[in-house]
Amino acid sequence: MLRLEGKFAALEEISPKYFQPVIEWRNNKSLNKFLNQPYELTLELEKKWYEEVYLRDETQGLFIILDRETGTPLGTKGWTDFDAEKRRCISGRLLFGNENFARHPAFTEGILLAYDYTFARVDVQYSHVVEENLKSAEHIKKFGFVENTGEIQYPAELFVNGMHQREYFCTREMYLAARKKFERFFDRR
């Protein structure tokens, strides 16, 4: 399994040992308001998705963001629709689940580690945010994303489970420019 480490955060690819916190976070009404999950997640459904979909699909990935010092799971960050030929993917699956680590640098650094990993493989990432989810829209803008006002690349993502979404994108260059403001806190060089 893939593992990446920074100063404060570590990322590990999803595995059964992380199913329980992911299920709790995704079922938490204060966290899942804008998730594309119109059902209650169970251990059986998580196992089925992991074994029948995730492990068989090389176009997606999901990291668990951990506090590096304690190994405590904090949240998730991932991607779907990885296309090596077009060098693009959909960035998403961002969920901050552990309130005990609010304002702790590990979560932000974990996001940076995930973007560093994916931008080493793609030139552009897209993200889809529910129109009413202003907090998420502002959050991804900090990492260089802007709203796509041109040709929509993933039209099927604009209306999912009864929710209207907006498409955002970020090129590697846009991300690297935005990343500079985080370097003094997280750069490992």
Structure confidence at residue 187 as a pLDDT band (50, 70, 90): low
Sign of CA pseudo-dihedral 41, 44, 46, 52: negative
Q: Is 108 left (phi over 0), alpha (psi -120 to 50) or beta?
A: alpha
- Please write the tens of the pLDDT for every residue from 8-17: 999 999 999 9
Task: Report CA-CA distances (Å) from 169 to 91, 117, 185.
Answer: 9, 17, 25
Query: CA-to-CA distance for 61 and 140, rounded, in angstroms?
Result: 18
pTM: 0.94
Name the E strands within the chain: 3-5, 9-13, 61-67, 73-83, 88-96, 124-130, 146-147, 159-160, 163-171
What are 93-147's pLDDT values in tens digits? 999 999 888 889 999 999 999 999 999 999 999 999 999 999 999 999 999 999 9
Q: What is the pLDDT of residues 173-183, one digit of tens each?
A: 999 999 999 98
What are the tokens at 141? Answer: 């803008």
C-beta separation of 131 from 137 below 8 A: no
- Is the CB of residue 65 less than 8 Å from the CB of residue 107? yes
